[in-house]
A and B are shown apart, each in its own frame.
Chain A
């Protein structure tokens, strides 16, 4: 069923080369230092990847979902942190190109040309994670501006983002009082707060964002006031398949690659590990689950790109893809440590890193429980 277009193949091959030559060699170091990899930014920018989700008319790649899946998969296969800045940036630009006015889009793109192009997607707050619909960061109208107060937590790429797509409360309680505004990092009163020290996903610039009487022009409101939640559910949440889903699956594929290579070498050096059925079957199961996750993700991308299915069916497929791939990612990377044994637990191996990174995907971008809630709701409604 899966047949890639020439363009998709071209992008995949380019990204695979970048992943092997530029991304993978730096992974261990970034994991150690937790520094945001500006060298990745350069490579991505040179290859147009930061603007992948933009239409060609705006200088983008006009990448369809399948292409985005391939980009993220290839990068995550080298290092799970690597595609995260593309995911946040890609999601923001996707929202802008679908929901902003042409004038807004032009203005923001011009602004991005002056910097790194990195954008953050700022939804979560310390007290509102799964329950983001009740978020409390406020934007109060004041003449031509909004005055924004509050804070966001766990914001990927926030450390370096030029523009932040921020979900704020402009109306009453719940999801009906939320709007989306763009906040420039240079805005007065906007601060990048503490870096979140995490077990994995190093170098993804996850920070707190603090808004202290930040004046934001009303021109920076995306879409209509109090209709921000729709932008989230209708546009942004779709990134769960090519973002989180492909991250988890690519990372799992990488773990499988690493283990297969390790076991092959062991066999060559005369160790009998691969003779053991228990280990062989684990390897087979790992490959089965990675391949299943990939099939589900590709099918979801295929359905989305054909534009034929109902929103509900697409949303269900997206939730299933994210949830399943994240669970597979956790299991496969844990099994990888088990198969490799003590060496898999050392910091010198990529194996333990992949396991730490895999965990984040079960939690972020809507925890796996939230994906199940949505999938079940769609099944029953």
Chain B
């Protein structure tokens, strides 16, 4: 048993914290949330420090960090802003997918641009009729001369409208194969003619935006296909552990901030002549909250460690996603309760946590889907 981090990891954590403290004060986050603006400015600064290359292998201009390193980054970043950490992850993981499956030309073309913040990458899987059952996606791509021609519709697409975004679009390239087999991955710049992106108004995730995308005879060069034809489903699943774990790390950082905000309020707010945190109902609620954050954190750390050791860890990752997402959602509700009317007010940050956390138990593999994965790993053929 070794619970410590390496010297380098501690330095990494501190550098992320220092940067975020300086560049990402609460007012900045509040402003972006209110104005519903993509965090271009801070991503620009991060890219100057090479952060978008942190997990990218060195030969492509990155730093080649491992899973534990990466969750340290996600945890610290999300303590300041869940959305900024989430948006960072989307670009980086789409980049890793290109590293894993793309051609040499694709890697040389897209990865440096992504690292330098000249482009952003987003992911397009979900469709109105393909949510949890993503393999039923129907957006089609047909080869016509030297181009793929895309038709169809995607929905709930995070950040696909940010300027200069290249979308990783999963499409159906063979209708006759079984549904998991006829899927491919094609890169589509978001300003390609025929692409129409419409904002969906959502309860939260105001910075990153959530969109519907319509593809009408959208033509991209043949070379924009990543990996082999009809091999998309495998690509979608590959690297899923690390991607999910990074997502989990943003839940624990955000949950910790919820506890910190509620704790601070409970120390400052006096009712009946005492700080409300000194009432057992409040103090114990906070104790439970911190316990849950730590439990979630340990699940994430363990899974990341296993991943770095090359051990199979799908079950552990799913547990971390299930528990971590439920924890953030539950805690933001309790945090609001502790802050009373103030927590419900839009002038305070707690409501943003409440809003942003309410969907993470659905997106990126719902709690129900995680439970199914865990149960199957336990040997049950759950239907």
Q: Which residues of A contact B (CB under 8 A)?
A: 124, 127-131, 134, 153-154, 196-200, 271, 276, 278-279, 330, 334, 337-338, 341-342, 344-348, 352, 355-356, 359-360, 362-364, 367-369, 372
Task: Tell whether A352 pairs with B337 under 8 Å between CB atoms, given A130-B272, A341-B366.
Answer: no
Report if B192 contacts A (CB, 8 A).
Answer: no
Contact call A199/B354, Cβ cutoff below 8 A: yes
Interface residues in B317-372 (C-beta closer than 8 Å to A): 329, 333, 336-337, 340-341, 343-347, 351, 354-355, 358-359, 361-363, 366-368, 371
A selection of 10 A-B contacts at a CB cut-off of 8 Å is A127-B270, A130-B271, A153-B341, A196-B341, A199-B346, A278-B368, A338-B362, A346-B202, A356-B203, A363-B343
CB pair B368–A276 under 8 Å, yes or no, is yes
Indicate if the CB atoms of A360 and B368 lie closer than 8 Å: no
Q: Which residues of A contact B126 (CB under 8 A)?
A: 342
Contact status A359-B201, CB under 8 Å = no
Any A CB within 8 A of the CB of B156:
yes
Interchain CB contact under 8 A, A352 and B358: yes
Q: Are B340 and A197 in contact (CB under 8 A)?
A: no
Q: How many residues of B contact A (CB 8 A)?
A: 42
Whether B358 and A131, one on each chain, are in contact in the complex, defined by CB atoms closer than 8 angstroms, is no
Residues of B within 8 A of A154 (CB): 341
Task: Among A196, A330, A341, A372, point to the contact of B281 (Cβ < 8 A).
Answer: A372
How far apart sit A130 and B271, CA to CA, in the bound complex (Å)? 7
The minimal Cβ–Cβ distance linking B272 to chain A, given in whole angstroms, is 5
Chain B CB within 10 A, most for which of A279, A345, A356, A360: A345
User: In the complex, given contacts A130-B340, A347-B200, A363-B343, what are 8 additional A-B residue pairs having Cβ atoms less than 8 angstroms apart?
Assistant: A129-B341, A131-B271, A341-B366, A345-B203, A346-B201, A347-B201, A363-B337, A369-B282
Please name all residues of chain B whose beta carbon is closer than 8 Å to the beta carbon of A128 when the two chains form the complex.
271
Verify A359–B358 contact, CB threshold 8 A.
no
Contact: A345 with B358, CB < 8 Å?
A: yes
- Report A-chain residues with C-beta under 8 Å of the C-beta of B132: 341
> How many interface contacts (CB-CB < 8 Å) are there between A and B?
102
Q: Which residues in B have their C-beta under 8 angstroms from that of A364?
A: 341
Residues from chain A with a CB closer than 8 A to the CB of B337 are: 362-363, 367-369
CB distance A200 to B131 under 8 Å? no
- Chain A residues lying within 8 Å of B363, measured Cβ to Cβ, are 342
Is the CB of B155 closer than 8 A to any CB of chain A? Answer: yes
| B277 sits at the interface (CB 8 A) | no
B366→A338 contact, CB < 8 A: yes
- Chain B residues within an 8 Å CB radius of A196: 341, 345
Q: How far is the CB of B319 from chain A (nearest CB, A)?
A: 16
* Pick from B200, B279, B340, B355: contact of A199, CB under 8 Å: B355
Contact B203–A197 (Cβ < 8 Å): no
| Most B C-beta atoms less than 10 A away, residue of A330, A342, A356, A367 | A342
- What A residues does B270 contact at CB under 8 A? 127
A355 / chain B contacts, CB cutoff of 8 Å:
203, 358
A198 touches which of B129, B272, B346 (Cβ 8 Å): B346
* Cβ of A28 to closest chain B Cβ, rounded Å: 11
3 closest cross-chain pairs (CB), A and B? A347-B201, A131-B271, A197-B346
Q: Which residues of A contact B351 (CB under 8 A)?
A: 199
Query: Judging by beta carbons under 8 Å apart, are B354 and A359 in contact?
Result: yes
Q: A130-B271, A271-B129, A341-B362 are in contact. Are A359 and B333 (CB under 8 A)?
A: yes
**A341–B365 CA distance with the chains assembled, in angstroms:** 11
Instruction: Indicate if B53 sits at the interface (CB-CB under 8 A).
Output: no
> B340–A352 contact, CB under 8 A?
no
- Asked, given contacts A198-B345, A337-B359, A363-B341, whether A129 binds B271 with beta carbons under 8 Å apart, the answer is yes
Q: Is B204 an interface residue (CB 8 A)?
A: yes
Give the distance to chain A from B342, nearest Cβ to Cβ, in Å: 9
Closest residue to A200 on the B side, CB-wise? B344
Q: How far is the CA of A129 from the CA of B351 in the complex (A)?
A: 19
Which B residues touch A346, using CB under 8 A?
200-203
A278 CA / B336 CA spacing, docked (Å): 28
Within the complex, which residue of B202, B276, B367 is in contact with A338, where a contact is CB–CB below 8 Å?
A: B367
How far is the CB of B267 from the nearest CB of chain A, in Å? Answer: 15
Q: Give the distance in Å from the alpha carbon of A359 to the alpha carbon of B131 in the complex.
A: 28
Q: Given the complex, which residues of B lie within 8 Å of A356, measured CB to CB?
A: 203, 355
Nearest chain A CB to B225 CB, angstrom units: 27
CA–CA, A131 and B329, complex, Å? 28
The chain A residue sitting closest to B362, CB to CB, is A341
Q: How far apart sit A271 and B361, CA to CA, in the bound complex (Å)? A: 20
The minimal Cβ–Cβ distance linking A136 to chain B, given in whole angstroms, is: 13
A360 to B332, CA, bound (A): 14
A342 contact set on B, CB distance < 8 A: 126, 131, 155-156, 359, 362-363
Pair A197/B204 contact, Cβ less than 8 Å: no
- The complex places the Cα of A337 from the Cα of B257 at a distance, in Å, of 24
Question: Which residue of B is nearest A133, CB measured?
Answer: B272
B249 to chain A, nearest CB (A): 22
Closest to A199 in B: B351
**Residues in B whose Cβ lies below 8 Å from that of A134:** 272
Chain B contacts for A130, CB-based, 8 A: 271-272, 276, 340
* Shortest distance from the beta carbon of B179 to any chain A beta carbon, whole Å: 14
Instruction: Tell me, in angstroms, the Cα distance from A63 to B329 when the chains sit together.
Output: 40
Complex-state Cα separation, A372 to B282, whole angstroms: 13
User: Given A198-B346, A278-B371, A360-B344, does the pair A131, B272 have CB atoms closer than 8 Å?
Assistant: yes
Say how far B240's CB is from chain A's closest CB, in angstroms. 19
A152 to chain B, nearest CB (A): 12
State the Cβ distance, B128 to closest chain A Cβ, in Å. Answer: 9
**Chain A residue nearest in CB terms to B367:** A338
| A196-B345, A341-B131 known; A347-B362 Cβ under 8 A | no
Residue in B204, B272, B282, B336 whose beta carbon sits within 8 Å of that of A345 in the complex: B204
Q: How far is the CA of A276 from the CA of B346 in the complex (A)?
A: 37
Q: How far is the CA of A134 from the CA of B273 in the complex (A)?
A: 9
In Å, the complex CA distance between A130 and B339 comes to 11
Q: Who on chain A is nearest to B351 by CB?
A: A199
CA distance A199 to B155 in the complex (A): 25
**Distance between Cα atoms of A309 and B370 in the complex (Å):** 50
